[in-house]
Structure 1
């Protein structure tokens, strides 16, 4: 047994098995840590999403960076929509997975500040998908809206590459910093995903609602929930593989011993015949 184990073939094979066990063990822990991180993120998102609404100006101000703990926090804001400065962001999908645009309309508050409001998804032009799309009418008068607070989008957060040189009123990202260059009012940091308004809007004024954090459809914030429910099964899978490899090694080694024994037994009559001769 020891002689077989110390052959070059079995030394190399044993080292490969040990390396694979260690790699799979580490991969299992990596997936388990991802699972724990996802659980923490889910808990944080749940706490924020189910918190009572507060005025957006209690959590944001011009130039503010919205922290992770406030993402999805319900906020309220009162003001008038600024149709002249609204724009769309490209390459966004709705619940059905269709690619279109998000319609962003600044809301000017009663104290003269602007808040970027994502009013929802709109379909592209059937004849030219890159053209500025047909958008819902912009409500007139003072509105009080409730929505989910979101941080400014970046390429890292949204995984969307920012592109310059787009047609007028089209952008790749929702960024209060970028839009502050275009608006005369001070712009609050982050933006708001519209949920409801008072008074309620008619169908002609509504875009398709953006999915919340508990939905399976893609939204601007899906980076926070990608991989949900996946990492723990992967961790268990890697650890099972790590456990099965030593069993496989033992089976192979026992087969190797059996083959060597049979070869030795087959060689004995031949040696005896040579001696007799």
Structure 2
């Protein structure tokens, strides 16, 4: 066997090892995703509770179905910019709900609206009345700070919902969790509600098959080179 063929076989073997490890890594990620999906699915299937009754534990509160009642504060509504839907540009409306007898408000993601530039929204058009009776699931407000995307007299534009953004835009305490409103995902009279999280296994199985296929190609290719060289030597 020539030196060139030996080097090629060594490289093919190393590539095979890498490809196989990447394939098993993708399978591991798939198992992790399925385990997470089981937890999220169990949370979403649980009975709705009042927002005030959410568990203090972050993991138990995340994705928990909740309902909240109060009054929408449209004056301090946030426009969550650059949220596309089915390829169309838009934004989501994040509206505080003031609860009677409480200083702390609850943010509600009322859903998606079309916006040609991903931020300009006629917020008055999408108001749903002052009384708020919202059913949805709980999401967490990250405690990290971000830079505000910009403000103007008629809108408060943000790129992420974080505690830092809330301190800049809302002049009263806000709960560390917010509610994602669920319901009609094809409405023309109110913001399109966000769909429930997809609980599929993702692309990891396909990626694993691809990596294993690359490993097989490397081994078979090296074998063919060796067989061809030996045949040439025999001739």
Give the TM-score taking structure 2 as reference length: 0.84
Unaligned runs of 5+ in 1: 156-160, 197-201, 215-224, 263-277
Number of aligned residues: 228
Report which of the two structures shows the higher radius of gyration computed on alpha carbons. Answer: 1
Q: 1:176 to 1:203 in 2, by over 3 A?
A: farther
Q: 1:150 to 1:144 in 2, by over 3 A?
A: same
Structural mapping, 1:1-277, within 5 Å? 4=1, 7-59=2-54, 67-94=58-85, 96-112=86-102, 113-124=104-115, 130-134=119-123, 135-141=125-131, 143-152=132-141, 163-164=147-148, 166-168=150-152, 169-195=156-182, 204=189, 206-214=190-198, 228-262=201-235
CA contact (8 A) 1:79 1:108 kept: yes
Unaligned runs of 5+ in 2: none
Give the TM-score taking structure 1 as reference length: 0.72
CA contact (8 A) 2:65 2:137 kept: yes
Q: Deviations over 1:23-61 (max 9, x none)?
A: 111111111111111111211111111111112122277
Q: Deviations over 1:244-267 (max 9, x none)?
A: 4333322221110111122xxxxx
- Report the alpha carbon displacement of residue 163 of structure 1 after superposing the two structures with TM: 4.5
Tell me the SS of whatever aligns to 1:32.
Answer: helix
Q: How far, CA to CA, are the matches of 1:70 and 1:105 in structure 2?
A: 20
